[in-house]
């Protein structure tokens, strides 16, 4: 996460990221039709803190693992939309707040050349940070995604473009209880000078906290 306080309180309006979509093992305890309530390794970029304009791709551990693009103007619900994507493909995600009636998203599977742009109603203006995130959802275990390799992580406003760097971000480690005392589930490496970094998976035992 890059707080806008590092940039004199600049109101960020967009962010973008590129990554290799990780594969996850299937789990026969979670039927394919129940994919929205199954263990999930979510990867996304966006702007904001309590209100978020964000988009990403999830790796979902159903019986036959599923991989799905999505957009979201949090706290509104996730909208599952975008081109098909497979594990190992290169994903590109762009999210931009334009006005209270308009957020622009561009989602692309670079490997296949398939892409879809979206303009969605967007009442919640998140601007206080730029985010490059691995998240688990539903309070379920974090599927083993191995390594999540990212590159081209940029953000800014209508006049400025900034790159994620080793000096401008706050690194958050995912743990089982959201505290340093918890079991580490995943952890990002340091950011390289070319705006890239890796997320590394560490543990997938079930934990009930949804943090």
Which residue ranges form the domains of the chain, and what is each CATH number? 2-201 (2.60.120.700)
Q: Which residue has the higher pLDDT, 194 or 17?
A: 17
- pLDDT, tens digit (0-9, with 9 covering 90-100), for 96-110: 999 988 999 999 999
Largest CA distance in the chain: 50
Q: State percent of the chain over pLDDT 90.
A: 81
Count of positions (residues) in the chain: 211
The pLDDT assigned to 123 comes to: 93
- pLDDT, tens digit (0-9, with 9 covering 90-100), for 158-185: 999 999 998 888 888 999 888 888 899 9
The pLDDT assigned to 45 comes to: 98
The pLDDT assigned to 211 comes to: 60
Candidates 79, 82, 59; CA nearest to 69 is 82
- Return d(Cα 5, Cα 211) in angstroms, integer: 24
Average pLDDT over every residue of 177-197? 88
- pLDDT, tens digit (0-9, with 9 covering 90-100), for 33-85: 999 999 999 999 999 999 999 999 999 999 999 999 999 999 999 999 999 99
- Return d(Cα 182, Cα 166) in angstroms, integer: 25
The pLDDT assigned to 5 comes to: 93
The pLDDT assigned to 169 comes to: 86
Q: How would residue 207 be classed by pLDDT, with cut points 50, 70 and 90? A: low
- pLDDT, tens digit (0-9, with 9 covering 90-100), for 19-31: 999 999 999 999 9
Kindly report the number of other CB atoms within 10 A of residue 132's CB atom: 26
């Amino acid at each position: 996460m890059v707080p806008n306080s590092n940039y004199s309180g600049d109101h960020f309006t967009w962010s973008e990221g590129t990554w290799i979509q990780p594969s996850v093992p299937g789990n026969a305890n979670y039927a394919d039709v129940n994919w929205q309530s199954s263990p999930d390794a979510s990867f996304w970029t966006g702007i904001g803190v309590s209100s978020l304009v964000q988009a990403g791709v999830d790796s979902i551990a159903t019986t036959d693992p599923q991989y799905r693009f999505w957009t979201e103007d949090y706290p509104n619900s996730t909208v599952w939309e975008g081109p098909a994507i497979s594990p190992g493909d290169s994903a590109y995600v762009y999210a931009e707040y334009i006005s209270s009636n308009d957020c622009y998203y561009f989602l692309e599977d670079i490997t296949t050349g398939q892409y879809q742009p979206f303009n969605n109603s967007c009442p919640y203006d998140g601007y206080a940070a730029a985010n490059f995130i691995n998240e688990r959802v539903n309070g379920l275990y974090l599927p083993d995604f191995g390594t999540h390799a990212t590159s081209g992580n940029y953000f800014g406003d209508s006049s400025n473009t900034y790159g994620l760097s080793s000096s401008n971000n706050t690194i958050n480690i995912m743990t089982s209880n959201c505290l340093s005392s918890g079991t580490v589930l995943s952890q990002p490496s340091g950011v390289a000078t070319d705006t890239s970094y890796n997320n590394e998976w560490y543990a997938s035992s079930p934990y009930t906290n949804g943090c």
